[in-house]
């Protein structure tokens, strides 16, 4: 497998001082690294009978949509406030830097639908835990979440116990 870690760029002090931002645009621009990332996440997801991939705006769309396409299943956008046009369910939560709100269409999920969440990066796990809550509130069954990058030193898995958490590149 390609060394994906080598394709990720570190930007110190972005968007605020003290944050080491993992920039995946350098990985996305590399056709082999991009394809390998999508294929590996798809391979992992194909172990389950998943009904939908839920992608988190914005980088989760770039990763989640091609995974859903390859699996031949639907894609659910989890979006920032006031972007979705129909009735929404929303959740607010703490980020590594600041606070955030995410929304999903109320009619996006039927009771019992099996869902895998996809995003580019797992940091504290706060975003993913919030999206799990949102999905469960609508009656969905969360299988787990898949990422390109995991900041393992922040111990995100502690917030996500009982779910299948998968990542391609870890920083310890
Ligand atoms: P968290 O809720 O702490 O797991 O944060 C995850 C979300 O914030 C993801 O959508 C990431 O894209 C973004 N994020 C958090 N920390 C970083 C980081 N150090 N580098 C790049 N993106 C980050």
Closest atom, ligand 1, to C-alpha of 24: 21
pLDDT by 10s per residue, the chain, length 172:
799 999 999 999 998 899 999 999 999 999 999 999 999 999 999 999 999 999 999 999 999 999 999 999 999 999 999 999 999 999 999 876 678 999 999 999 999 999 999 999 999 999 999 999 999 999 999 999 999 999 999 999 999 999 999 999 999 9
Q: From the CA of 154, give the closest atom in ligand 1.
A: 3
Q: Are 57 and 115 in contact (CB under 8 A)?
A: no
DSSP helix, strand, coil percent of the chain (3-state; round to 5): 35, 35, 30
Decide if 95 is inside a domain: yes
Ligand 1 pocket check: which of 8, 96, 159, 165 to mutate, most ligand atoms within 8 Å of Cβ?
Answer: 96
Q: What token pair was written down for 16?
A: 């605020």
Report if residue 32 sits inside a domain: no
DSSP state of 8: P
> How far is residue 139's CA from residue 79's CA, in Å, rounded to a whole number?
19
Q: Per the domain annotation, does 41 fall within a domain?
A: no
The residue range of the domain holding 141 is 49-170
- Does residue 55's CB lie within 6 angstroms of at least one atom of ligand 1? no
Q: What is the CATH number of the domain that holds 84?
A: 3.40.50.2020
Does residue 142 sit within a domain? yes
Q: Does pTM surpass 0.85?
A: yes
Tally the domains of the chain: 1
**In this structure, is residue 149 part of a structural domain?**
yes
């Amino acid at each position: 497998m390609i060394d994906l870690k080598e394709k990720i760029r570190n930007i110190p002090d972005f968007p605020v001082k003290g944050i080491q931002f993992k920039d995946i645009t350098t990985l996305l621009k590399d056709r082999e690294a991009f394809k390998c990332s999508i294929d590996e996440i798809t391979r992992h997801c194909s172990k389950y009978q998943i009904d939908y991939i839920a992608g988190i705006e914005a980088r989760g769309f770039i990763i989640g949509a091609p995974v859903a396409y390859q699996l031949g299943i639907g894609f659910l956008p989890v979006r920032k406030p006031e972007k979705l046009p129909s009735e929404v369910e929303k959740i607010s939560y703490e980020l590594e830097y600041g606070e955030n709100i995410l929304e999903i269409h109320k009619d996006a999920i039927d009771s019992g639908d099996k869902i895998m969440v996809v995003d580019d990066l797992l940091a504290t796990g706060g975003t993913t835990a919030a999206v799990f809550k949102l999905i469960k509130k609508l009656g969905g069954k969360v299988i787990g979440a898949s990422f390109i990058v995991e900041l393992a030193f922040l111990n995100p898995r502690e917030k996500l116990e009982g779910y299948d958490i998968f990542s391609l590149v870890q920083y310890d």
